[in-house]
Amino acid sequence: MDDPRAALVAEARDWIGTPYRHQASVKGVGCDCLGLVRGVWRARHGAEPEAIPAYGPDWSETRADEALWQALARHMRPADPVPRPGDVLLFRMRAGRVAKHLGILTRDGTEARFVHAYSGHGVVESPLSAPWARRIVARFDMT
């Protein structure tokens, strides 16, 4: 594929159906939301840019630091102001808590969608409904 954003979307969609497994990142075997982004990164860029330390389901909530946001910012550019398919989405699931959920935008506009992994569902493509969209705190460009 010549279009790098289309390639990211295609790779993310290729993970759909992968079961949810905390800290895993193996297409078809298991992953969490970070594992999905890690796997798409490997398909696009090769080796991961840094080792991922072990993390619990609460991420860094006990320290209240934005470790995931900081790591994304070290290795990806901020996305363009207008959302585009292929953007990595960072979500804050609760006000006052750290941002700790990731997805990849697959369609923009009025029918926006994204691929993500979460417990009990595995990797799925979901509508980027208003409840999801209002939780986005940052977008990154993986290309």
Query: What digits encode the pLDDT tens for the residues 4-36?
Result: 999 999 999 999 999 999 999 999 999 999 999
Query: What digits encode the pLDDT tens for the residues 51-80?
Result: 988 887 765 566 668 989 999 999 999 999
pLDDT number for residue 59 = 59
Q: What is 4-141's CATH number?
A: 3.90.1720.10
Residue 133 C-beta-side C-alpha neighbours within 13 Å: 12
Tokens for 64, please give them: 């209240």
DSSP state of 20: B
Asked whether the beta carbons of 40 and 140 are under 8 A apart, the reply is no
Q: How far is CA 118 from the centre of its chain?
A: 11
End-to-end Cα, the chain, rounded Å = 13
Greater confidence (116 vs 59) lies with: 116
The answer to whether the pTM exceeds 0.75 is: yes
Question: Which residue ranges make up each domain of the chain?
Answer: 4-141
> What is the per-residue DSSP string for 82-118?
S--TTPEEEE-SSTTS---EEEEEEE-GGG-EEEEEE
pLDDT number for residue 50 = 93
